[in-house]
Structure 1
Protein backbone atom coordinates (compact mmCIF):
# COMPACT_ATOMS: atom_id res chain seq x y z
CA UNK A 1 0.00 0.00 0.00
CA UNK A 2 1.41 3.45 -0.86
CA UNK A 3 2.60 5.31 2.18
CA UNK A 4 0.67 8.47 1.25
CA UNK A 5 -2.63 6.54 1.16
CA UNK A 6 -1.85 4.87 4.47
CA UNK A 7 -1.18 8.26 6.05
CA UNK A 8 -4.45 9.70 4.73
CA UNK A 9 -6.41 6.77 6.14
CA UNK A 10 -4.58 7.09 9.47
CA UNK A 11 -5.28 10.82 9.74
CA UNK A 12 -8.95 10.32 8.89
CA UNK A 13 -9.31 7.50 11.42
CA UNK A 14 -7.57 9.50 14.15
CA UNK A 15 -9.86 12.48 13.51
CA UNK A 16 -13.06 10.42 13.50
CA UNK A 17 -12.21 8.57 16.71
CA UNK A 18 -11.10 11.65 18.65
CA UNK A 19 -13.14 14.53 17.17
CA UNK A 20 -15.54 14.91 20.10
CA UNK A 21 -12.85 14.79 22.79
CA UNK A 22 -10.54 17.12 20.85
CA UNK A 23 -13.38 19.58 20.33
CA UNK A 24 -13.99 19.66 24.09
CA UNK A 25 -10.30 20.15 24.82
CA UNK A 26 -10.04 22.90 22.20
CA UNK A 27 -13.07 24.68 23.67
CA UNK A 28 -11.15 24.81 26.95
CA UNK A 29 -8.18 26.37 25.18
CA UNK A 30 -6.14 23.16 25.13
CA UNK A 31 -5.19 22.76 21.45
CA UNK A 32 -2.07 20.84 22.45
CA UNK A 33 -4.09 17.69 23.14
CA UNK A 34 -5.26 17.35 19.54
CA UNK A 35 -1.95 18.38 17.96
CA UNK A 36 0.14 16.16 20.24
CA UNK A 37 -2.00 13.06 19.77
CA UNK A 38 -2.20 13.53 15.99
CA UNK A 39 1.56 13.91 15.64
CA UNK A 40 2.06 11.01 18.02
CA UNK A 41 -0.07 8.71 15.85
CA UNK A 42 1.92 9.68 12.75
CA UNK A 43 5.25 9.13 14.54
CA UNK A 44 4.20 5.69 15.80
CA UNK A 45 3.05 4.79 12.28
CA UNK A 46 6.46 5.65 10.84
CA UNK A 47 8.37 3.85 13.58
CA UNK A 48 6.32 0.67 13.28
CA UNK A 49 6.43 0.82 9.48
CA UNK A 50 10.18 1.25 9.46
CA UNK A 51 10.65 -1.66 11.86
CA UNK A 52 8.44 -3.99 9.80
CA UNK A 53 10.12 -2.88 6.57
CA UNK A 54 13.51 -3.65 8.09
CA UNK A 55 12.36 -7.14 9.08
CA UNK A 56 10.93 -7.80 5.61
CA UNK A 57 14.17 -6.69 3.98
CA UNK A 58 16.19 -8.87 6.34
CA UNK A 59 13.99 -11.87 5.49
CA UNK A 60 14.22 -10.89 1.80
CA UNK A 61 10.44 -10.90 1.47
CA UNK A 62 10.59 -7.56 -0.38
CA UNK A 63 14.18 -7.22 -1.59
CA UNK A 64 13.51 -4.55 -4.25
CA UNK A 65 10.65 -2.67 -2.60
CA UNK A 66 10.86 0.91 -1.47
CA UNK A 67 9.69 1.90 2.00
CA UNK A 68 7.09 4.30 0.56
CA UNK A 69 5.41 1.45 -1.36
CA UNK A 70 6.06 -1.48 0.95
CA UNK A 71 3.46 -3.76 2.53
CA UNK A 72 4.95 -2.55 5.81
CA UNK A 73 2.78 0.58 5.47
CA UNK A 74 -0.41 -1.49 5.50
CA UNK A 75 0.80 -3.51 8.49
CA UNK A 76 1.74 -0.33 10.38
CA UNK A 77 -1.65 1.23 9.55
CA UNK A 78 -3.43 -1.87 10.85
CA UNK A 79 -1.47 -1.92 14.12
CA UNK A 80 -1.85 1.82 14.82
CA UNK A 81 -5.54 1.65 13.87
CA UNK A 82 -6.15 -1.09 16.44
CA UNK A 83 -4.32 1.00 19.05
CA UNK A 84 -6.43 4.08 18.26
CA UNK A 85 -9.69 2.14 18.46
CA UNK A 86 -8.70 0.73 21.84
CA UNK A 87 -7.71 4.12 23.21
CA UNK A 88 -10.91 5.75 21.97
CA UNK A 89 -13.08 3.38 23.96
CA UNK A 90 -14.72 1.72 20.93
CA UNK A 91 -12.75 -1.48 21.38
CA UNK A 92 -13.01 -1.57 25.19
CA UNK A 93 -15.59 0.14 27.34
CA UNK A 94 -13.83 2.96 29.22
CA UNK A 95 -16.79 5.28 29.57
CA UNK A 96 -18.33 5.58 32.99
CA UNK A 97 -21.69 4.00 33.81
CA UNK A 98 -24.37 6.19 32.27
CA UNK A 99 -26.16 6.74 35.60
CA UNK A 100 -23.10 8.19 37.34
CA UNK A 101 -22.08 10.10 34.23
CA UNK A 102 -25.49 11.74 33.95
CA UNK A 103 -25.67 12.50 37.67
CA UNK A 104 -22.18 14.00 37.81
CA UNK A 105 -22.51 16.28 34.80
CA UNK A 106 -26.22 17.13 34.77
CA UNK A 107 -27.54 16.95 38.32
CA UNK A 108 -26.94 18.92 41.52
CA UNK A 109 -26.49 18.39 45.24
CA UNK A 110 -24.90 15.56 47.19
CA UNK A 111 -26.09 12.83 44.81
CA UNK A 112 -24.21 14.50 41.95
CA UNK A 113 -21.10 14.98 44.11
CA UNK A 114 -21.18 11.29 45.09
CA UNK A 115 -21.51 10.26 41.43
CA UNK A 116 -18.51 12.38 40.45
CA UNK A 117 -16.53 10.91 43.34
CA UNK A 118 -17.25 7.35 42.19
CA UNK A 119 -16.06 8.22 38.69
CA UNK A 120 -12.89 9.87 39.99
CA UNK A 121 -12.15 7.00 42.41
CA UNK A 122 -12.62 4.41 39.63
CA UNK A 123 -9.07 5.29 38.42
CA UNK A 124 -10.22 4.86 34.83
CA UNK A 125 -9.73 8.51 33.91
CA UNK A 126 -6.62 10.58 33.43
CA UNK A 127 -5.46 13.80 31.78
CA UNK A 128 -8.20 15.95 30.30
CA UNK A 129 -11.03 13.53 31.18
CA UNK A 130 -10.00 13.41 34.85
CA UNK A 131 -9.60 17.19 34.91
CA UNK A 132 -13.16 17.65 33.62
CA UNK A 133 -14.55 15.36 36.33
CA UNK A 134 -12.64 17.20 39.08
CA UNK A 135 -13.72 20.57 37.68
CA UNK A 136 -17.37 19.49 37.58
CA UNK A 137 -17.25 18.18 41.15
CA UNK A 138 -15.59 21.40 42.25
CA UNK A 139 -18.42 23.37 40.67
CA UNK A 140 -20.93 21.22 42.55
CA UNK A 141 -19.13 21.97 45.83
CA UNK A 142 -19.10 25.68 44.94
CA UNK A 143 -22.85 25.66 44.30
CA UNK A 144 -23.30 23.85 47.62
CA UNK A 145 -21.71 26.80 49.43
CA UNK A 146 -18.38 25.06 49.97
CA UNK A 147 -15.91 27.21 47.98
CA UNK A 148 -12.89 25.98 49.94
CA UNK A 149 -13.58 22.35 48.98
CA UNK A 150 -14.23 23.53 45.44
CA UNK A 151 -10.78 25.13 45.25
CA UNK A 152 -9.17 21.82 46.24
CA UNK A 153 -10.88 20.09 43.31
CA UNK A 154 -9.91 22.87 40.91
CA UNK A 155 -6.30 22.52 42.07
CA UNK A 156 -6.43 18.79 41.30
CA UNK A 157 -8.09 19.44 37.94
CA UNK A 158 -5.36 21.88 36.94
CA UNK A 159 -2.67 19.45 38.05
CA UNK A 160 -4.21 16.91 35.65
CA UNK A 161 -4.61 19.44 32.84
CA UNK A 162 -3.13 22.95 33.27
CA UNK A 163 -4.77 23.98 30.00
CA UNK A 164 -8.34 23.62 31.28
CA UNK A 165 -9.52 27.22 31.08
CA UNK A 166 -12.85 26.59 32.82
CA UNK A 167 -11.03 25.29 35.91
CA UNK A 168 -8.96 28.49 36.15
CA UNK A 169 -12.15 30.53 35.80
CA UNK A 170 -14.08 28.50 38.37
CA UNK A 171 -11.14 28.68 40.75
CA UNK A 172 -11.24 32.46 40.43
CA UNK A 173 -14.94 32.50 41.30
CA UNK A 174 -14.39 30.38 44.42
CA UNK A 175 -11.43 32.46 45.56
CA UNK A 176 -13.35 35.72 45.11
CA UNK A 177 -16.07 34.30 47.36
CA UNK A 178 -13.41 33.38 49.92
CA UNK A 179 -12.11 36.97 49.81
CA UNK A 180 -8.85 35.98 48.11
CA UNK A 181 -9.23 38.77 45.56
CA UNK A 182 -5.65 38.97 44.28
CA UNK A 183 -5.56 35.21 43.69
CA UNK A 184 -8.95 35.42 41.98
CA UNK A 185 -7.65 38.11 39.61
CA UNK A 186 -4.62 35.98 38.77
CA UNK A 187 -6.81 32.96 38.03
CA UNK A 188 -9.19 34.93 35.84
CA UNK A 189 -6.15 36.19 33.98
CA UNK A 190 -4.93 32.63 33.37
CA UNK A 191 -8.38 31.67 32.14
CA UNK A 192 -8.47 34.70 29.85
CA UNK A 193 -5.19 33.70 28.21
CA UNK A 194 -6.56 30.25 27.45
CA UNK A 195 -10.08 31.28 26.44
CA UNK A 196 -9.91 35.01 25.58
CA UNK A 197 -13.29 35.14 23.86
CA UNK A 198 -15.41 34.27 26.93
CA UNK A 199 -17.09 37.42 28.17
CA UNK A 200 -17.84 35.94 31.61
CA UNK A 201 -14.12 35.81 32.44
CA UNK A 202 -13.61 39.55 31.89
CA UNK A 203 -16.88 40.45 33.57
CA UNK A 204 -15.89 38.45 36.66
CA UNK A 205 -12.40 39.90 36.84
CA UNK A 206 -13.83 43.38 36.31
CA UNK A 207 -16.15 42.89 39.25
CA UNK A 208 -13.25 41.78 41.47
CA UNK A 209 -11.32 44.90 40.47
CA UNK A 210 -14.44 46.87 41.42
CA UNK A 211 -14.45 45.17 44.83
CA UNK A 212 -10.82 46.29 45.24
CA UNK A 213 -11.79 49.90 44.36
CA UNK A 214 -9.65 49.70 41.20
CA UNK A 215 -12.32 51.27 39.02
CA UNK A 216 -10.21 52.05 35.94
CA UNK A 217 -9.12 48.41 35.68
CA UNK A 218 -12.67 47.27 36.32
CA UNK A 219 -13.93 49.44 33.45
CA UNK A 220 -11.24 48.10 31.12
CA UNK A 221 -12.24 44.48 31.76
CA UNK A 222 -15.95 45.26 31.57
CA UNK A 223 -15.41 47.06 28.26
CA UNK A 224 -13.93 43.83 26.94
CA UNK A 225 -16.79 41.73 28.30
CA UNK A 226 -19.37 44.00 26.66
CA UNK A 227 -17.52 43.96 23.34
CA UNK A 228 -17.67 40.15 23.40
CA UNK A 229 -21.28 39.95 24.59
CA UNK A 230 -23.26 43.21 24.25
CA UNK A 231 -26.30 41.54 25.83
CA UNK A 232 -24.58 40.73 29.13
CA UNK A 233 -26.63 42.91 31.47
CA UNK A 234 -24.42 42.31 34.51
CA UNK A 235 -21.39 43.70 32.67
CA UNK A 236 -23.31 46.89 31.81
CA UNK A 237 -24.48 47.26 35.41
CA UNK A 238 -21.02 46.68 36.91
CA UNK A 239 -19.46 49.07 34.43
CA UNK A 240 -22.09 51.67 35.28
CA UNK A 241 -21.28 51.31 38.96
CA UNK A 242 -17.55 51.56 38.24
CA UNK A 243 -18.01 54.71 36.13
CA UNK A 244 -20.12 56.27 38.88
CA UNK A 245 -17.53 55.48 41.54
CA UNK A 246 -14.85 56.84 39.22
CA UNK A 247 -16.67 60.18 39.00
CA UNK A 248 -18.41 59.73 35.64
CA UNK A 249 -22.02 59.73 36.78
CA UNK A 250 -23.55 60.33 33.34
CA UNK A 251 -21.81 57.35 31.79
CA UNK A 252 -22.67 55.31 34.85
CA UNK A 253 -26.34 56.18 34.52
CA UNK A 254 -26.29 55.34 30.79
CA UNK A 255 -24.69 51.95 31.41
CA UNK A 256 -27.13 51.00 34.14
CA UNK A 257 -30.02 52.12 31.93
CA UNK A 258 -28.78 49.70 29.27
CA UNK A 259 -28.61 46.91 31.85
CA UNK A 260 -32.25 47.62 32.75
CA UNK A 261 -33.26 47.52 29.08
CA UNK A 262 -31.67 44.08 28.84
CA UNK A 263 -33.22 42.84 32.11
CA UNK A 264 -36.22 45.08 32.88
CA UNK A 265 -37.30 43.32 36.06
CA UNK A 266 -33.96 43.34 37.88
CA UNK A 267 -34.43 45.07 41.25
CA UNK A 268 -30.69 45.50 41.83
CA UNK A 269 -30.24 47.44 38.60
CA UNK A 270 -33.25 49.60 39.42
CA UNK A 271 -31.83 50.39 42.85
CA UNK A 272 -28.43 51.22 41.32
CA UNK A 273 -30.06 53.50 38.74
CA UNK A 274 -31.95 55.30 41.50
CA UNK A 275 -28.75 55.80 43.52
CA UNK A 276 -26.76 57.17 40.56
CA UNK A 277 -29.71 59.32 39.49
CA UNK A 278 -29.89 60.87 42.95
CA UNK A 279 -26.20 61.77 42.82
CA UNK A 280 -26.67 63.30 39.38
CA UNK A 281 -29.49 65.51 40.61
CA UNK A 282 -27.30 66.77 43.44
CA UNK A 283 -24.67 67.99 41.00
CA UNK A 284 -24.67 71.77 40.36
Structure 2
Protein backbone atom coordinates (compact mmCIF):
# COMPACT_ATOMS: atom_id res chain seq x y z
CA UNK A 1 0.00 0.00 0.00
CA UNK A 2 1.44 3.40 -0.89
CA UNK A 3 0.23 6.93 -0.56
CA UNK A 4 1.60 10.42 -0.52
CA UNK A 5 0.77 12.17 2.73
CA UNK A 6 -1.15 15.38 2.32
CA UNK A 7 -2.15 16.34 5.82
CA UNK A 8 -5.31 18.29 5.31
CA UNK A 9 -6.94 20.21 8.10
CA UNK A 10 -7.92 17.99 10.97
CA UNK A 11 -11.59 17.23 11.32
CA UNK A 12 -12.92 18.37 14.65
CA UNK A 13 -16.02 17.44 16.52
CA UNK A 14 -18.11 19.59 18.78
CA UNK A 15 -20.72 18.94 21.39
CA UNK A 16 -24.17 20.36 21.71
CA UNK A 17 -25.08 22.37 24.78
CA UNK A 18 -28.75 22.15 25.65
CA UNK A 19 -30.35 25.31 26.96
CA UNK A 20 -30.06 28.91 26.01
CA UNK A 21 -27.76 31.84 26.38
CA UNK A 22 -24.19 32.32 25.32
CA UNK A 23 -23.19 28.68 25.86
CA UNK A 24 -25.76 27.69 23.25
CA UNK A 25 -24.43 30.38 20.88
CA UNK A 26 -20.93 28.97 21.44
CA UNK A 27 -22.19 25.49 20.62
CA UNK A 28 -23.90 26.71 17.47
CA UNK A 29 -20.69 28.46 16.37
CA UNK A 30 -18.74 25.23 16.78
CA UNK A 31 -21.41 23.17 15.00
CA UNK A 32 -21.62 25.72 12.17
CA UNK A 33 -17.89 25.44 11.48
CA UNK A 34 -17.05 28.99 12.49
CA UNK A 35 -13.59 30.04 13.66
CA UNK A 36 -13.92 33.77 14.20
CA UNK A 37 -12.63 35.57 17.29
CA UNK A 38 -16.12 36.82 18.18
CA UNK A 39 -17.32 33.21 18.55
CA UNK A 40 -14.39 32.38 20.83
CA UNK A 41 -15.25 35.47 22.89
CA UNK A 42 -18.87 34.29 23.13
CA UNK A 43 -17.65 30.98 24.57
CA UNK A 44 -15.33 32.74 26.99
CA UNK A 45 -18.12 35.04 28.16
CA UNK A 46 -20.42 32.05 28.65
CA UNK A 47 -17.78 30.31 30.77
CA UNK A 48 -17.18 33.46 32.83
CA UNK A 49 -20.75 34.64 33.36
CA UNK A 50 -23.25 31.81 32.95
CA UNK A 51 -24.26 29.36 35.64
CA UNK A 52 -23.61 26.10 33.77
CA UNK A 53 -23.87 22.60 35.20
CA UNK A 54 -20.61 20.65 34.97
CA UNK A 55 -21.64 18.85 31.76
CA UNK A 56 -22.54 22.03 29.89
CA UNK A 57 -19.43 23.72 31.25
CA UNK A 58 -17.25 20.85 29.99
CA UNK A 59 -18.98 20.92 26.60
CA UNK A 60 -18.52 24.68 26.34
CA UNK A 61 -14.79 24.22 26.93
CA UNK A 62 -14.78 21.62 24.13
CA UNK A 63 -16.65 23.94 21.80
CA UNK A 64 -14.27 26.83 22.51
CA UNK A 65 -11.35 24.47 22.00
CA UNK A 66 -12.77 23.44 18.63
CA UNK A 67 -13.02 27.09 17.59
CA UNK A 68 -9.44 27.71 18.69
CA UNK A 69 -8.23 24.61 16.88
CA UNK A 70 -9.79 25.94 13.69
CA UNK A 71 -7.68 29.06 14.24
CA UNK A 72 -4.68 26.71 14.55
CA UNK A 73 -4.17 27.80 18.17
CA UNK A 74 -3.46 24.27 19.30
CA UNK A 75 -1.99 25.20 22.68
CA UNK A 76 -5.13 27.03 23.84
CA UNK A 77 -7.35 24.39 22.28
CA UNK A 78 -5.57 21.62 24.19
CA UNK A 79 -5.85 23.61 27.42
CA UNK A 80 -9.63 23.77 26.91
CA UNK A 81 -9.83 20.05 26.14
CA UNK A 82 -7.75 19.35 29.27
CA UNK A 83 -10.16 21.41 31.38
CA UNK A 84 -13.18 19.71 29.80
CA UNK A 85 -11.83 16.23 30.51
CA UNK A 86 -11.07 17.20 34.14
CA UNK A 87 -14.66 18.40 34.54
CA UNK A 88 -16.10 15.34 32.79
CA UNK A 89 -13.55 12.53 32.35
CA UNK A 90 -16.10 10.51 30.35
CA UNK A 91 -16.62 13.17 27.68
CA UNK A 92 -15.19 11.43 24.61
CA UNK A 93 -15.22 14.63 22.56
CA UNK A 94 -12.62 16.20 24.86
CA UNK A 95 -10.28 13.29 24.21
CA UNK A 96 -10.76 13.01 20.43
CA UNK A 97 -10.45 16.75 19.95
CA UNK A 98 -7.26 16.85 22.04
CA UNK A 99 -6.05 14.06 19.74
CA UNK A 100 -6.97 16.17 16.71
CA UNK A 101 -4.97 19.08 18.15
CA UNK A 102 -1.96 16.79 18.55
CA UNK A 103 -2.38 15.66 14.93
CA UNK A 104 -2.47 19.32 13.87
CA UNK A 105 0.83 19.76 15.68
CA UNK A 106 2.23 16.63 14.02
CA UNK A 107 2.43 14.89 17.40
CA UNK A 108 0.93 11.79 15.86
CA UNK A 109 1.56 9.15 18.55
CA UNK A 110 -0.07 11.33 21.20
CA UNK A 111 -2.91 12.00 18.78
CA UNK A 112 -3.63 8.30 18.26
CA UNK A 113 -3.55 7.66 22.01
CA UNK A 114 -6.04 10.45 22.76
CA UNK A 115 -8.34 9.55 19.87
CA UNK A 116 -8.40 5.90 20.95
CA UNK A 117 -9.37 6.92 24.48
CA UNK A 118 -12.17 9.16 23.17
CA UNK A 119 -13.49 6.47 20.84
CA UNK A 120 -13.57 4.02 23.74
CA UNK A 121 -15.71 6.50 25.71
CA UNK A 122 -18.03 7.15 22.76
CA UNK A 123 -18.45 10.25 20.63
CA UNK A 124 -21.24 11.82 18.62
CA UNK A 125 -19.27 11.91 15.31
CA UNK A 126 -16.93 8.90 15.36
CA UNK A 127 -16.16 9.27 11.65
CA UNK A 128 -14.21 12.45 12.39
CA UNK A 129 -12.17 10.66 15.05
CA UNK A 130 -11.38 7.81 12.65
CA UNK A 131 -10.39 10.32 9.96
CA UNK A 132 -7.99 12.10 12.33
CA UNK A 133 -6.66 8.75 13.47
CA UNK A 134 -5.97 8.01 9.81
CA UNK A 135 -4.04 11.27 9.46
CA UNK A 136 -2.04 10.40 12.58
CA UNK A 137 -1.26 6.85 11.45
CA UNK A 138 -0.23 8.13 8.06
CA UNK A 139 2.03 10.67 9.75
CA UNK A 140 3.55 7.79 11.74
CA UNK A 141 4.20 5.91 8.49
CA UNK A 142 1.67 3.15 9.20
CA UNK A 143 -0.13 3.23 5.86
CA UNK A 144 -2.07 0.03 6.49
CA UNK A 145 -3.59 1.46 9.67
CA UNK A 146 -4.21 4.81 7.96
CA UNK A 147 -6.05 3.10 5.11
CA UNK A 148 -8.22 1.14 7.56
CA UNK A 149 -8.99 4.31 9.55
CA UNK A 150 -9.97 6.32 6.47
CA UNK A 151 -12.08 3.38 5.29
CA UNK A 152 -13.85 3.24 8.64
CA UNK A 153 -14.54 7.00 8.48
CA UNK A 154 -15.94 6.64 4.95
CA UNK A 155 -18.15 3.71 5.98
CA UNK A 156 -19.54 5.59 8.98
CA UNK A 157 -20.46 8.64 6.90
CA UNK A 158 -20.72 7.68 3.22
CA UNK A 159 -21.65 11.19 2.04
CA UNK A 160 -18.52 12.80 3.56
CA UNK A 161 -15.90 13.40 0.88
CA UNK A 162 -12.80 13.96 3.05
CA UNK A 163 -12.03 10.28 3.78
CA UNK A 164 -12.77 9.34 0.18
CA UNK A 165 -10.30 11.97 -0.99
CA UNK A 166 -7.63 10.50 1.29
CA UNK A 167 -8.44 6.93 0.22
CA UNK A 168 -8.12 7.89 -3.46
CA UNK A 169 -4.40 8.55 -2.89
CA UNK A 170 -3.77 4.91 -1.91
CA UNK A 171 -2.83 2.09 -4.20
CA UNK A 172 -3.78 -1.26 -2.72
CA UNK A 173 -1.69 -4.20 -3.90
CA UNK A 174 -2.97 -7.67 -3.14
CA UNK A 175 -0.56 -10.65 -3.04
**TM-score where L is the length of structure 1:** 0.47
Greater helix content: 1
What's the offset of the Cα at 1:198?
2.3
* Pairs within 5 Å for 1:84-103: none
Among 164, 177, 184, the alignment partner of 2:70 is: 177
Distance 1:259 1:146 in 2: 24
Distance 2:148 2:29 in 1: 37
SS at structure 2 position matched to 1:176: helix
Higher RCO structure (Cα 8 Å, ≥6 apart): 2
Residue aligning to 1:70: none
1:151 aligns with 2:45: no
Decide whether the 8 Å contact of 2:43 with 2:60 is kept in 1. yes
Decide whether the 8 Å contact of 2:131 with 2:149 is kept in 1. yes
Residue aligning to 1:265: 159
Residue aligning to 1:139: 27
Cα gap change, 1:146 to 1:249, in 2 (>3 Å): closer
Larger radius of gyration, structure 1 or 2?
A: 1
Cα gap change, 1:266 to 1:186, in 2 (>3 Å): same
What's the offset of the Cα at 1:183?
0.3
Distance 2:122 2:90 in 1: 9
Distance 2:29 2:132 in 1: 26
**Structure 1 unaligned spans of 5+:** 1-27, 29-103, 106-131
Moved over 4 A (4+): none
Decide whether the 8 Å contact of 2:34 with 2:67 is kept in 1. no
Cα gap change, 1:265 to 1:134, in 2 (>3 Å): closer
Decide whether the 8 Å contact of 1:138 with 1:149 is kept in 2. no
Cα gap change, 1:178 to 1:237, in 2 (>3 Å): closer
What's the offset of the Cα at 1:186?
0.6
Decide whether the 8 Å contact of 1:207 with 1:238 is kept in 2. yes
